[in-house]
Amino acid sequence: THPMQSNLAPIPELYVSYESAQKLKVEAADLVSWDLTPRQICDLELLMNGGFNPLKGFLSQADYDGVVENMRLTDGTLWPMPINLDVSEDFASKLEAGQDIALRDQEGVILATMTVTDNWVPNKAREAEKVFGADDDAHPAVNYLHNTAGKVYLGGPVTGIQQPVHYDFRGRRDTPNELRAYFRKLGWNKVVAFQTRNPLHRAHQELTFRAAREAQANLLIHPVVGMTKPGDVDHFTRVRCYEAVLDKYPAATTTMSLLNLAMRMAGPREAVWHGLIRKNHGCTHFIVGRDHAGPGKNSAGEDFYGPYDAQELFRAYEEEIGLKMVDFKHMVYVQERAQYEPNDEIEDRDNVTILNISGTELRRRLAEGLEIPEWFSFPEVVAELRKTKPPRAEQGFTVFFTGFSGSGKSTIANALMVKLMEMGGRPVTLLDGDIVRKNLSSELGFSKEHRDLNIRRIGYVASEITKNGGIAICAPIAPYATTRRAVREDVEQFGAFVEVHVATSIEECERRDRKGLYKLAREGKIKEFTGISDPYDVPQNAELVVETENVDVDNCAHQVLLKLESMGLIKA
Ligand code: PPS
């Protein structure tokens, strides 16, 4: 095959001229409007700027069927991914065939109008099987399809009014035509693109550099900053890492641009889709690695796709995509020669030491603040990752006490707070039941609905404290297990959640009756009193259960400290 050269002429966009856009924007204010979801905003941006060329809008039903069945639009063009406007049944039922609607971002700004030519209920199970390979919710896109996407799809041409606004890394974002113009200006007629959703370490730098050298091409680092796999390193951190790595390439060979794509993690189909998108961005070559855009394990614990399925499918469609694949070699570090080499090309294999650090091992080392060697990653990259994810003993967390009124929650929580403040290092906030009810929840009573609201508010504040690296100590009764679980989920996005059941029996609490409330509850003067006339779900999976009968407060607080230490949240 002879070397590919790019045609860097502009590609069609869906935007109207500036003047027409101003006019259309005013007219569109009267249209029925749809508030776009974050994923739809990503899709719309790439539709409008030509990233999804040749699509002219959201897929019609016939095009959708073709794409799902055999990766082709009705005119035969290769297109592997359904791009539809999913909406609620309620919204769809109000539309007439051929009606224009306005598409707004989450602040209400009109980005585009769309003529709704098609309106149908898709067979999502079939879409899952055909596009993602299995109707299994363990696949992030299948999960999205069933649990987040609307029931009805709309299709039809889009008229672009303005680009979605981004406030971050503005100088690093380029439309396909902006990149084409840039390549034209620099005379880059061969460009190899590297798609990524992870921080780049030395192996990636080495691999991309080799790919460019082999193809005798320039290199475009083209990371996805739209939506990636849940749990990935956030794009702010990643872009700072990429900027550090850019300095490591020979001058004037390499550039970086951010792609506001919403990934689907569809492996082989996704690789073909990524290729078409890069072709639109003026590239000539594309790196496809092992397990490209892999979604992880299915619900039976097996991989959804084989490790080289993506390379195979890409190879089968290479001509049509119009982009040459550079297959990703698994690079490992050879200690004796102090360099990276492709794993399948290592000479004298038996007499050298091959080093590698897996993703899991890297996460462990970051969490525990352990060394990450220079042969594995650049110190600047490691420093950025450590800033975002300090070791556990420096991260925020929440201690959530639950138990009957008078069980001793507040007293233990207070003792714990003082001990943590003595240790120092992180700010501590106590969200005691009584304090919260005075401040955050002063208008609430003790119905189930009000108790839930109260606990959700505590959970929200605790999750914010945890996110920002502080320690939140909560001490409400929190009688309902489902509500406690919801709070756990809120907090665990940002740090550890340590549930402590203060297991003082109701008999003992009533015997103590420190506030005289049990007496009033028995007399019926206080209604819905927890443990007397209102339920309490005993925690089934608390991190710690403390008994308070015949144990002093200091000892109870100490038990919590030991638990925190064993979880790595505080240092001995
Ligand atoms: S909840 O269920 O988690 O929202 O309750 P919480 O916010 O922790 O508030 C419990 C405190 O309010 C007093 N109190 C009652 N508790 C339970 N049931 C009823 N009906 C009730 N009415 C007033 C009681 O003093 C609780 O304080 P603590 O600190 O738990 O003893």
pLDDT digits (tens, 9 = 90+) for 85-144: 999 999 999 999 999 999 999 999 999 999 999 999 999 999 999 999 999 999 999 999
HSE value, Cβ hemisphere, 13 Å, CA-based, for 479:
17
Going by alpha carbons, the residue nearest to atom 22 of ligand 1 is 529
HSE value, Cβ hemisphere, 13 Å, CA-based, for 64:
25
Here the tokens at position 212 are: 């460019």
Q: What is the mean pLDDT of the chain?
A: 95
474 lines ligand 1 (CB under 6 A): no
pLDDT confidence tier of residue 40, bands split at 50, 70 and 90:
very high
pLDDT over 60 at 4, yes or no: no
Using CA atoms, how far residue 173 sits from 117, 222, 437, 471, 539, in Å, is 32, 10, 47, 37, 49
The pLDDT, as a whole number, for residue 36 is 98
Most confident of the ranges 80-84, 212-216, 391-395, 434-438? 80-84
434 lines ligand 1 (CB under 6 A): yes
pLDDT confidence tier of residue 3, bands split at 50, 70 and 90:
very low
Q: Atom of ligand 1 at shortest distance to CA of 404?
A: 30
Ligand 1 pocket: which of 411, 514, 530 to mutate (most atoms within 8 A of CB) = 530
What are the DSSP E strand ranges found in 343-494? Answer: 354-355, 397-402, 428-432, 471-475
Task: State the ipTM, two decimals.
Answer: 0.92
Residue 417 Cα to ligand 1 midpoint, Å, equals: 21
Residues with active-site annotation: 196-198
Residue 500 Cα to ligand 1 midpoint, Å, equals: 17
Rounded Cα gap, residues 59 and 64, in angstroms = 6
State the DSSP H helix or E strand holding residue 157, giving kind and residue range, or none if neither.
Answer: strand 152-160
The pLDDT, as a whole number, for residue 2 is 41
Rounded Cα gap, residues 366 and 476, in angstroms = 33
pLDDT over 90 at 359, yes or no: no
Residue 433 Cα to ligand 1 midpoint, Å, equals: 7
pLDDT over 60 at 1, yes or no: no
454 lines ligand 1 (CB under 6 A): yes
Here the tokens at position 23 are: 């006019």
Q: Atom of ligand 1 at shortest distance to CA of 436?
A: 7
* Least confident residue range of 9-18, 226-235, 469-478: 226-235
> What tens digit of pLDDT does each residue of 53-73 get?
999 999 999 999 999 999 999
Q: Atom of ligand 1 at shortest distance to CA of 479?
A: 2
> What tens digit of pLDDT does each residue of 380-419 get?
999 999 999 888 999 999 999 999 999 999 999 999 999 9
> What tens digit of pLDDT does each residue of 499-518 get?
999 999 999 999 999 999 99
Rounded Cα gap, residues 553 and 216, in angstroms = 71
Rounded Cα gap, residues 195 and 138, in angstroms = 23
> What tens digit of pLDDT does each residue of 227-279 get?
999 889 999 999 999 999 999 999 899 999 999 999 999 999 999 999 999 99
Measuring CA to CA, which residue among 158, 134, 199, 133 is closest to residue 28? 158
Residue 538 Cα to ligand 1 midpoint, Å, equals: 16
526 lines ligand 1 (CB under 6 A): yes
520 lines ligand 1 (CB under 6 A): no
Going by alpha carbons, the residue nearest to atom 25 of ligand 1 is 405
> What tens digit of pLDDT does each residue of 267-309 get?
999 999 999 999 999 999 999 998 999 999 999 999 999 999 9
515 lines ligand 1 (CB under 6 A): yes
The DSSP line for 250-318 is PTTSEEE-BB--B----HHHHHHHHHHHHHHTT-SEEEE-TTTT---B-TTSSBSS-TTHHHHHHHHHH
Going by alpha carbons, the residue nearest to atom 26 of ligand 1 is 405
Measuring CA to CA, which residue among 478, 468, 484 is closest to residue 395? 468
Question: Cβ neighbours of residue 526 under 8 Å, at least 6 residues apart?
Answer: 517, 520
Rounded Cα gap, residues 256 and 277, in angstroms = 16
Give the long-range contacts of residues 412-418, CB within 8 A, separation 24 or more.
412/475, 412/500, 412/502, 412/546, 412/548, 412/553, 412/556, 412/557, 412/560, 413/473, 413/474, 413/475, 415/553, 415/554, 415/556, 415/557, 416/473, 416/557, 416/560, 416/561, 417/473
Ligand 1 pocket: which of 443, 473, 499, 517 to mutate (most atoms within 8 A of CB) = 517
The whole-angstrom distance between residue 522's C-alpha and the CA centroid of its chain comes to 50
Considering only CA atoms, give the Rg of the chain.
28
411 lines ligand 1 (CB under 6 A): no
The pLDDT, as a whole number, for residue 438 is 94
The pLDDT, as a whole number, for residue 5 is 59
528 lines ligand 1 (CB under 6 A): yes
Q: Which residue bears the tokens 């001793």?
A: 408
